[in-house]
Structure 1
Amino acid sequence: MWEILHRVKRTFERSLPVTGHVRLEVRTESGDVAVREGADGVVRVRGRIWVSGPRDEVREVLEEIERHPPVEQTGSTVRIGDLPSQLERDNCSVAAYYWIEAPVDTEVRVEVDSGDVKIVGLRGPVVLRLTSGDVEVARIEGDLEVQVDSGDVEGTQLRGRAWFDVDSGDLDLCDIRGPVRAVVDSGDVALADLGPELELSVDSGDVSLASAVPDGARWRIETDSGDVAVCLPRGSRCVMEAEASSGDIDCDLPLEVETDDEGASARGTLGEGATARIEISTDSGDIALGWRDR
């Protein structure tokens, strides 16, 4: 006989007074997490928890959540999402969604097995670990570390050091001022308006870059399999080297292009007094170098 499954929602809100350096830790197996800047001296949490399963088990899980809500505070450390082990049921599933406001200087660490994460307007540092889900980060003043097994990552207005490790998914970065280190196993990368330092390694995927080149910049792009397209504004000053081991180079910049049995290369200096350097290499893929009209 088939048993009817039930899906029930519970919501809660908490306002936690904090002082000094605030540390926020969020953990959820299934569900989304959003953190943004809020007022000083308080961490505000809104939670929505869905429980699905047979009626009796759903009731037991909800009663346990009400007895032990997933919010814990020790001094200025706030932990959210550690659901008690008593909730484990063979026929019952729990999904938790959290919306959090924290002081701008809060240190944040988020771990999600399945769900999306959005972080906006914090100084950090910020550390994100996702097994499956998308990431959106914006207006982060401090250091940022993102590791995603499967999912897309979007970052805008990043001012500190940023490190990205993406196994499968696209990476889209815009308006970056700090140094960037990124490793992408499988996915496309789009870069715009970069800062002075870039180290990018892509196993399989295309790369597009459109940005002014800051004085003294050091940008290095390496791909095993994928095309690379770079567009620079006219008047850029930099030393550029591009090598395609198995592919062509389409170059509209005033560089020296050579092609032989070992591949193609483009080298030269743009502008006078160049202190920036751009290096591009592809094992299998084409390279396009050109001017950005706007």
Structure 2
Amino acid sequence: MKRIFFLLIVIVGLYLVFNRSFHFPVMQASKTDGTAAITKQTEVISVDVANVSTTIIPEDRPNLKAVYNGKQKLSVKENGDAIKVSVKGKWFHWFNWLSFSEKNKLIIYIPENYDQNMKIDLGSGNVNFSGESRTNPMKLNELSIDIGSGNMKLKNLEVKQFEHDGASGNVNVNSLKAERSSFDLGSGNVDIQHYVGAIKADVASGELDIQMDQLTDSIQLDLSSGNIKLDLPKSADFTMKGDVSSGNISCNFPLKSKEINKGSINGRHGSGKHLIQLDVSSGNIHIF
């Protein structure tokens, strides 16, 4: 009898704990913010969030400001030459999926004249980052974005080094100039418009659609399954090496020293200054 009474107490206690966690106001979405000073010594802004849609807005301001609307905990910390913005689940968030919703949003305002490094790490969710315009882009030294699952939209940026690593989702880029860029995506689509600079992309499954405003450096594109569309300026000088294990290659450019075999194409356009390497295991390549 005592055992039954004890089990009833345990069951009632667990019920109260779960009921309190899921229904008390502490679980309701709330709005919080935090700020950090940006100085000449600030070398990196780090953003580490899980299950949050994040928007980064450059504007005329002296400091960083983060505004978060959701059920998790916002933290903005200064540590020497680094500023870290993080949003993490509280102790009662046993299930991450309960924390994610359209209302779970983070907006980070940064000085438009900040020109050092940014590192963005998202467990899942979306990231949007835009400069003012194509003629007045946001300029950075290095920009690194790591997304577990979600979409990325970038616009009007100029960086020396850009790195993207995503497990799944879509990448949309409009107006990006970089000395070096790399895109690594497990599953999804990559759509890049108005790009200038060297680029390396590796996609396991999906579509690669890239439009270059200028060809100033090398291009290396690898796709396991899907299609590649590469739009080059008419004046581009390049040497092309393309291979498809299963699929087709087509090129609208008149190539010199042209060699076309089943599943491969080699040739030169203009002076052949920049190397373009294209490799598809299963799919098609179209250069125009």
Separation (CA, whole Å) in 2 of partners of 1:146 and 1:174: 16
1:78 aligned residue? 83
Deviation at 1:131, TM superposition (A): 0.9
Write out per-residue CA displacement over residues 221-269 of structure 1, whole angstroms, 9 at most, x where no aligned residue.
xxxxxxxxxxxx3x6554444444444455555455655xxx2544444
Contact 2:223–2:281 (CA under 8 A) maintained in structure 1: no
Structure 2 CA distance, aligned partners of 1:180 and 1:146? 11
Deviation, structure 1 residue 198 = 1.2
Aligned equivalents of 1:3, 1:19: Cα separation in 2: 46
Instruction: Give the equivalent residue in structure 2 for 1:275.
Output: 273
Which of 144, 147, 162 is the equivalent residue of 2:165? 147
- C-alpha contact 1:18 1:76 (8 A) present in aligned 2: no
Residue aligning to 1:182 = 201
Q: What is the match of residue 147 of structure 2?
A: 130
AA at the equivalent of 2:34: R
Structure-2-length-normalised TM-score = 0.72
Check 1:48–1:29 CA distance in 2 against 1; reply closer, same or farther (3 A cut): same
Q: CA deviation at 1:11?
A: 0.8
Give the AA of the match of 2:29.
K
C-alpha separation in 2, matches of 1:90 and 1:285: 39
Q: Is the 8 A contact 2:171 2:191 kept in 1?
A: yes
* Aligned mates of 1:150, 1:270 — CA distance in 2: 35
* Mapped pair 1:8 → 2:28: yes
2:65 and 2:108 in contact (8 A); partners too: yes
Distance 1:276 1:41, change over 3 A: same
Question: Which residue does 2:226 correspond to in 1?
Answer: 205
8 Å CA contact retained: 1:36, 1:122: no
Q: Does 1:100 align with 2:100?
A: no
Q: What secondary structure does 2:40 align onto?
A: coil
Q: Using the TM superposition, name which of 23-32 and 75-84 deviates more.
A: 75-84
Deviation at 1:207, TM superposition (A): 0.6
Report if aligned partners of 1:37, 1:122 keep a CA contact under 8 Å in 2. Answer: no
Runs of at least 5 residues in structure 1 that lack an aligned partner in the other structure: 52-64, 213-232
Residue 189 of structure 2 is matched in structure 1 by 170
Distance 1:40 1:285, change over 3 A: same
Counterpart residue number, 2:126: 116
RMSD (Å) for aligned C-alpha atoms: 3.2
Q: Matched residues in 2 for 1:176 and 1:251: separation?
A: 20
SS at 1:123 equivalent: strand
Q: Which amino acid aligns with 1:187?
A: G
CA-CA distance at 1:202 after TM superposition: 0.8
Alignment match of 2:64 (pick from 43, 61, 72): 43
Q: CA deviation at 1:107?
A: 2.0
Higher helix share: 2
SS at match of 1:105: coil
1:176-197 per-position Cα deviation (integer Å, ceiling 9, x unaligned): 2221111111110000015422
